[in-house]
Amino acid sequence: MNDQKVAVITGGSSGIGLETAFILARNGYTTYATMRSPYKDTSIKAVVQNEDLPIKVVQLDVTDDTSVKNAIDHILSEAGRIDILVNNAGYGLVGAFEDLSMEEIKSQYETNLFGLIRVTQAVLPTMRKQRSGRIINVSSGAGLFGYPGGSAYVSTKFAVEGLSESIAYEMEPFGIKVILIEPGFIRTNFGNSMVIAKKAQESTSPYSELMQKTMDGFAELAKNASDAELVSKIIHEAASNPSPRLRYLAGKDVESWAGSKKSMDDLEFFNMIKGLNNL
């Protein structure tokens, strides 16, 4: 079996996933950047060739059982081990709760939660036999508190938080660490891949004014967003630290909000979030 440490990243085509692939490869990990449509990717190839990085691109759709199994089987047949799994694939569904269709909510959960579950369950038997490994789940500040228009996205991240806390107990006896990364606003293409619910786009929605104010609030907050590189550095720290923490906040904004969440009562925090969104 190859002794070189092996990292697998979902959602590796851009943003946090791409930057994480680069930083892990630059630090000696054989890195598999998985993505749903690798054939569309060109940016990663140029950097890999220019720096001679140990990054391999593998097709993996986290919403498809067969795709997940085939990808993990391929990686194991080639590398013989998996030491780090970074569950990063995800997107944000935006819209007031009443405007969300069940189909839209299910799609959000398929990627952000069930996708993470599929990949983790596919990797765990290998890590358990190795009696070592890191499961690094990219959650969000939205896994700590809610905000208007984010009920679907926020609830998937709350679920990721609870799932991670629970399996951390189960994995510890096998030498596997479970870690949560909680970014705030990050300057990535996440905003471009944001999905606005169909009904939320209609001017007749009773929530149209609220959603417009919320989107304006997002745009304002995004002006001071951190770079994806910040999150990738924190992921590398979590991957390499002999005694990693369960949670890592990523960004000055989310550090401030998390601090307020702890120090304020529920009404005070509710009013603070309303203020951020001009409500």
Catalytic residue flag (residue 139): yes
Query: For residues 263-276, b (16+ Cβ closer than 10 Å) or e, as one string?
Result: eeeeeebeeebeeb
| CA separation for the pair 45, 56 (Å, rounded) | 9
Q: 137, 238 in Cβ contact below 8 A? A: no
Choose, from 5, 155, 157, 232, the residue flagged as catalytic. Answer: 157
Task: Output the pLDDT for position 192.
Answer: 62
The per-residue pLDDT for range 186-208, each reduced to its tens digit, is: 886 555 668 999 999 999 999 99
* Catalytic residue (one of 139, 155, 226, 232): 139
pLDDT at 194: 85
Q: How far apart are CA 60 and CA 74, in angstroms?
A: 11
C-beta contacts of 20-23 below 8 A and 24+ residues apart:
20/86, 20/88, 20/231, 20/232, 20/235, 20/236, 21/55, 22/47, 22/53, 22/55, 22/232, 23/229, 23/232, 23/233, 23/235, 23/236
Is 77 an annotated catalytic residue?
no
Burial of residue 55 (number of CB atoms within 10 Å: 0-12, 13-18, 19+): buried
For residue 198, give the DSSP letter: T
More confident residue, 44 or 108: 108
Residue 157: active-site member: yes
pLDDT at residue 1, rounded to an integer: 46
Whether the CB-CB separation of 195 and 93 falls below 8 Å is answered with yes
What pLDDT is recorded for position 81?
98
- HEC secondary structure over 232-260: HHHHHHHHHCCCCCCEEEECHHHHHHHHH
Q: What pLDDT is attached to residue 41?
A: 65
CATH topology of domain 6-276: Rossmann fold (3.40.50)
Which residue reads 């990243």 in tokens?
9
Q: Is 91 assigned a catalytic role?
A: no
Burial group, residue 205, by CB count within 10 angstroms (0-12, 13-18, 19+): middle
- Mean pLDDT value across residues 203-232: 91
Q: Which of 13, 14, 155, 232 is catalytic?
A: 13
**What does the alpha-carbon distance between residue 195 and residue 113 come to, in Å, rounded to a whole number?**
16
Catalytic pick among 147, 153, 207, 248: 153
33-65 pLDDT tens trace = 999 998 766 678 889 999 999 999 999 999 999
Q: In terms of Cα–Cα distance, which of 156, 24, 34 is closest to 87? A: 34
Q: Which residues contact 241 (CB under 8 A, 6 or more apart)?
A: none
Give percent of the chain above pLDDT 90: 84
Question: Is the pLDDT confidence value at 5 over 50?
Answer: yes
Count of C-beta atoms within a 10 Å radius of residue 187: 16
* Sequence-ordered alpha helix ranges (H) in the chain: 15-26, 43-51, 65-79, 102-109, 115-130, 151-171, 208-222, 228-240, 252-263, 266-276
pLDDT-derived band at 87, boundaries 50, 70, 90: very high
| 265 pLDDT higher than 60 | yes
The rounded distance, in Å, linking the Cα atoms of 229 and 214 is 26
Amino acid residing at 202: E
User: In this predicted structure, which of 67-76, 152-161, 168-177, 187-196 has the lowest mean pLDDT?
Assistant: 187-196
Q: Which whole number is the average pLDDT over 248-270? A: 96
Beta carbons of 176 and 135 less than 8 angstroms apart: yes
DSSP designation for 51: H
* Residue 223 confidence class, pLDDT cut points 50, 70, 90: confident
Each residue's pLDDT tens digit, 239-251: 999 999 999 999 9
